[in-house]
Structure 1
Amino acid sequence: MSNKEILESEQQYYAQADRIKYFDIVIKSGKGAILTDEDDHQYIDLLSSASATNTGHSHPHVVKAIQDQAAKLIQYTPAYFANEPEAKLTPRLAKLAPIEGDVRVAYGNSGSDANDAIIKFARAYTKRQYIVSFTGAYHGSTYGSISTSGVSLNMTRKIGPLLPGVVKVPFPSPWYRLKGETDDEFSDRMFEAFKLPFETYLPADETALIEIEAIQGDGGFLKAPERYLNKVYDFAKENGIMFAVDEVNQGLGRSGTMWSIDHFPHIHPDMIAVGKSIASGLPLSAVLGRAEVMDALAAPGNVYTTAGNPVTTASANATLDVIESENLVARSAKLGAQAKEFFAKMKGKFNFIGDVRIFGLNGGIDIVDPETGKADNQAATKLITRIFELGALMITVRGNILRFQPPLVIKEAELQQAFQILEQAMQELNDGKIADPTTKMGW
């Protein structure tokens, strides 16, 4: 069946809340960084299934691990009994954790429930209720994680009341920076904004958790200033507040380091949430945390029937094998430097490119109105539509920000081909050769 035929059948029954509108294609297969749709069109993947396939599509080592395990045992709930792949994975993850002291691992099915679990563990350990998160955050779609998110009104509209006790503070996004403000001045001013709730209505001694994406993903690929995040971390430590980092989008080599928090050597979080690429896209997540924090919650306080099942944990072990054997963390940093150079060149060439933020094979490129400097959602939609027509798959976040996250295994020749496609589309936009979009796309 064709893309059109499959979609016409599906859309009669598919809930609109479950898919953000982009292109009318049906993905049939993938290999490495190349995707094929049901019409046999091929695309260079610059999205990695929302950063869930860092090891690329259908990596042979991962595929074999899944197949071998499925032939032995697909599922028996780890809520009651261990299985060999899970028992092997657990110490591997604990040893990789950017956490001081003994580490415990708790499994889930998605990044959303991992972030929910962090709330539970923090409240259980501290015996406090309040949770602090940041504007622009995307932590997931379960009730706890959607309550701590702050990136789309459709994640709060019509579904309240949300989880009580959640307070949001402003993330130090670059568009909040004042003209002429130094890095230190910006960090200090944003830290004062962070402290304001604690000085007016939020008791620090009743606050259980501060959770942050050290590099926001869907919020626009924004790295928190180091001085700012160090101050927030120190505040948490001084007040007995758990400090957690959401690594679901940015972990496992995505930002050119194993974890995004590795960009901040002063910080050793109490817990991190891991998901997406941990099992090369299979439904698995984990919370890695300090032993005394994780041991504060007893079973069945964080039990899921399929979490940590044999097939997903076999895939995760194989995924870690690939990350290690193919040096994907270093590769992300190396190819990310090439991407940073390319997008800086494009910024110098085209006046509709605003800020460029690249961290490893990962980043956001702002598309703006050259006259006002403000976000230009229509131009960004034109760009991704033309990029798609030319054979690469790219989307936007926040309406006007190009999302750049190719698989970490992308071949250099494929990356250079993607750059050629991007430059051609940008040149055509610059020359007024791309028609206005016919449908609204994106968040």
Structure 2
Amino acid sequence: MSTNSNRKLLAEEAEALADAARINYFNIVIESGQGAVVKDIEGKQYIDLLSSASATNTGHAHPHVVRAIQEQAAKLIQYTPAYFANEPAAKLAQRLCALAPISGSKKLAWGNSGSDANDGIIKFARAYTKRPYLVSFMGAYHGSTYGSMSLSAVSLNMTRNIGPLLPGVIKVPYPDPWQRLKGESEDDFVTRMFAEFKRPFETFLPAEETALIIIEPIQGDGGIVKAPTAFVRKVAEFAHSHGILFAVDEVNQGLGRTGKWWSIQHFDIEPDLISVGKSLASGLPLSAVIGRAEIMDSLGAPAHLFTTSGNPVTTAAAMATLDVIEDEQLVQRSADLGKEAKEFFEAEQAKYDFIGQCRMYGLDGGIDIVDPQTQKPDPVATTKLIYRIFELGAIMISLKTNVLRFQPPLVITEKQLHQAFKIIAQAFSELDEGKLTLPHNADNIGW
């Protein structure tokens, strides 16, 4: 291939692709991937520290998943599950319900993305409770359909020029523990943030008219931030004491990403509903909303079905994905390798005053890059870092302008992980020495 292949194809694509359809980072065209490594169309390889936005926890082109896709595609690619069942989906429904962190009888409904799974949560919550209002958290990313976008609060471009959004959505502050006041204990922080959470209910939002509280227990695109356990428990208790359904979004953080099957398992809390997608079918378009059976039975068809959701190929891929997570013990692997990653980033943090807080939950990390003088976010240094890391052979992007997003496939080898550490350490060192410059397209990089 020509050395201009990436540039040429991207230029051709730009004539047809809407600006709203991609967040710009690096000018590459991905051709292939294997495990934790991807290759562009010019043949350059990169260690993947993004996992396709946490959608390929089992890595790229895992042989077991590929085989399942090929075998199913040779038999039946699609016949709409809106009318007729297929074997992989029927088996997967039982298996996924059994894995869901909800006790008692459970049911699910299929979708094509985490976005429509969160739309499903809205539908089922309103139908079951017969209440209109929905509560979500600032910093949340729940998706890009109108319902899930209405719940989200992470980017102005998700509201700019497209309102009005879904009515009845109230947003409350997320308890980012790195925003604690100076000298504030965690107990005092939880007390303060829970008071902020309750303020709408005390002033303008009737609890008895509220259907749903939905939370990412560990926010993904909000910066890989874990809420204090005591806070999440207080919110769940408040919800249940007022007949409000408590739902968790596991689209980004589920399926082993945090060193547990589900991120809510870090809190010892049981939700009423969960959404799952992304890595469910190793990145193929499949999602589900799973909930207590009586909630899921509150709607009749066709209130939440789609022509292609739960189709034979995607559900066969999901069955194989769950096999890989279980057989290769990827949940424990995430926890174990996450400890190594935490040690690495904390050691780098001790060297450089431009590294702020380091948050790591399994192979799931957010590393703040800050101005050494003010300790405020430093988007310029962050962009320099991710671009240099890319030049050195790894893919890492930023969140919230100044957070390094660390989410490699859970199958990453220790050799690959250590090579990634070397690349990141070199970029940190070069930034400290003043050697890094911004790419020419810096103004167009990132959220």
**Superposition TM-score tier, normalisation by shorter sequence:** over 0.9
Cα offset for 1:175? 4.1
Match of 2:140 in 1: 137
Match of 1:322 in 2: 324
Question: Aligned partners of 1:34, 1:228: CA distance in 2, in Å?
Answer: 38
Which of 369, 386, 406 in structure 1 is aligned with 2:371? Answer: 369
Cα offset for 1:438? 2.1
**Cα-to-partner distance string for 1:86-132 (whole Å, 9 max, x where unaligned):** 01101100000100210001100000000000000000000000000
Match of 2:433 in 1: 431
Q: Paired residues, what number?
A: 442
Match of 1:442 in 2: 446
Q: Which amino acid aligns with 2:246?
A: F
Which of 381, 404, 408 in structure 1 is aligned with 2:406? Answer: 404
Match of 1:385 in 2: 387
Query: Normalising by structure 2, what TM-score?
Result: 0.98
Question: Aligned partners of 1:176, 1:129: CA distance in 2, in Å?
Answer: 32
Q: How does 1:340-359 map to 2 (within 5 A)?
A: 340-359=342-361
Which of 420, 423, 426 in structure 1 is aligned with 2:422? Answer: 420
Match of 1:118 in 2: 121
Query: Normalising by structure 1, what TM-score?
Result: 0.99
Q: Secondary structure at the match of 2:319?
A: helix
Q: Which amino acid aligns with 1:85?
A: P
Q: Is structure 2 residue 17 aligned with structure 1 residue 14?
A: yes
% identity of equivalent residues: 68
Question: Aligned partners of 2:182, 2:85: CA distance in 1, in Å?
Answer: 56
Cα offset for 1:437? 3.1
Which of 42, 46, 53 in structure 2 is aligned with 1:43? Answer: 46
Q: Secondary structure at the match of 1:81?
A: coil
The question of whether the paired residues in 2 share the 8 Å contact of 1:378 and 1:437 is answered with no
Cα offset for 1:303? 1.1
Q: Which amino acid aligns with 1:226?
A: T
Question: Aligned partners of 1:105, 1:228: CA distance in 2, in Å?
Answer: 28
Cα offset for 1:360? 0.3
**Cα-to-partner distance string for 1:364-390 (whole Å, 9 max, x where unaligned):** 000000000000000000000000000
Cα offset for 1:5? 1.4
Question: RMSD in angstroms over aligned alpha carbons?
Answer: 0.6
Match of 1:248 in 2: 251
Q: Is structure 2 residue 213 aligned with structure 1 residue 210?
A: yes
Q: Which amino acid aligns with 2:288?
A: A
The question of whether the paired residues in 1 share the 8 Å contact of 2:354 and 2:370 is answered with yes
Match of 1:73 in 2: 76
Q: Which amino acid aligns with 1:434?
A: L
Match of 1:299 in 2: 301
The question of whether the paired residues in 2 share the 8 Å contact of 1:53 and 1:281 is answered with yes
Q: Is structure 2 residue 202 aligned with structure 1 residue 191?
A: no
The question of whether the paired residues in 1 share the 8 Å contact of 2:140 and 2:219 is answered with yes
Question: Aligned partners of 1:251, 1:268: CA distance in 2, in Å?
Answer: 14
- Could you list the structure 1 runs, at least 4 aligned residues long, displaced by more than 6 angstroms after superposition: none
Match of 2:183 in 1: 180
Question: Aligned partners of 2:200, 2:137: CA distance in 1, in Å?
Answer: 12
Question: Aligned partners of 1:35, 1:437: CA distance in 2, in Å?
Answer: 22
Which of 27, 31, 36 in structure 1 is aligned with 2:30? Answer: 27
**Cα-to-partner distance string for 1:240-282 (whole Å, 9 max, x where unaligned):** 00000000000000000000000011x1100000000000000
Q: Which amino acid aligns with 1:256?
A: G
Cα offset for 1:4? 1.3
Q: Is structure 2 residue 164 aligned with structure 1 residue 166?
A: no
Q: Which amino acid aligns with 1:282?
A: L
Match of 1:56 in 2: 59
Q: Which amino acid aligns with 1:290?
A: R
The question of whether the paired residues in 2 share the 8 Å contact of 1:256 and 1:330 is answered with yes
Cα offset for 1:176? 2.9
Question: Aligned partners of 2:384, 2:193: CA distance in 1, in Å?
Answer: 34
Question: Aligned partners of 2:245, 2:370: CA distance in 1, in Å?
Answer: 38
Q: Secondary structure at the match of 1:354?
A: strand
Which of 261, 278, 281 in structure 1 is aligned with 2:264? Answer: 261
Cα offset for 1:202? 0.1
Question: Aligned partners of 1:349, 1:19: CA distance in 2, in Å?
Answer: 35
Question: Aligned partners of 1:310, 1:188: CA distance in 2, in Å?
Answer: 48
